[in-house]
Amino acid sequence: MDFFDEINGIQYLFLVKIEDLPANKLRITVKEATISTKEDYIDIAGKKIGPVKKISPDGAGRVFEFYFESYGAYHVINESFATFKDDEEWIGRLFCVSSKSSYLDYIHATTLVDFTYIYEGDELKHYSINCQDHVINIASIKGPIIRKL
C-alpha cells in the first residue's frame, strides 16, 4: 500500500477532515504533527509535569488523504477512550490494518455486511487511523487509495 511505511514512521498525526461522500465513499485527511523545540512544565491536578513539548497540528507537517471507494461501516472515537485487545492482530502503528479485531466482530454481529457487501473471495478488513484526538475505524473489503498532498 502506497505511503504505508512513511505514515507509520511519523510520530503523531492530527485529523484534518472527514468527508462522507455520496455512494458510500469516504475521504479522510490527516496531517503530521509539529513538535515544539521549547520545553515547558504543565500543571495537571495541581502537580507540575515536565519537561514536555507541545504537539500541534500547526506547521509544515506532511498531509495525507485516504480515499475509500466503498466501506461497510466507519466510526470515529475520542482517542482517550480507544482500546485494543490482546487477541487482535494488527499491522502498522498510526495507519493499521487488521483481519481480526473486536470492531470487525461487532460489524459482523450487528450488520448485514456479510450478506450485502462481501462477495466470494472478499475479506472484510479493519483499517484504523490513529490520530492525536481521534481514532477512525473503517470496515472495508478494499483498502484506501492514499495520496500525499
Kindly write down the DSSP assignment for every residue of 81-113, as one continuous string. Answer: G----TT-EEE-SSEEEEEE-HHHHHHHHHSSH
Question: Using DSSP, how many helices (H) and how many strands (E) does the chain show?
Answer: 3, 11
| Residue for grid cell 513539548 | 53
Lateral strand order in the sheet of 25-32 = 13-21, 25-32, 63-68, 145-148
Please state the rounded mean pLDDT for residues 61-75. Answer: 95
* Chain-centroid distance, C-alpha 110: 22
pLDDT, position 117: 67
Length of the chain: 149
Per-residue pLDDT for 147 more than 80? yes
Give the pLDDT band of residue 86 (cuts 50, 70, 90): confident
pLDDT at 85 over 90: no
Say what the pLDDT of residue 134 is: 95
- Cα–Cα dist 141/149, whole Å: 25
* Among 26, 14, 10, residue whose Cα is nearest residue 134: 14
pLDDT at 114 over 90: no
Sequence-distant contacts of 41-49: CB under 8 A, at least 24 apart:
none
pLDDT at 59: 83
Domain count, the chain: 1
Boundaries of domain holding 79: 4-148
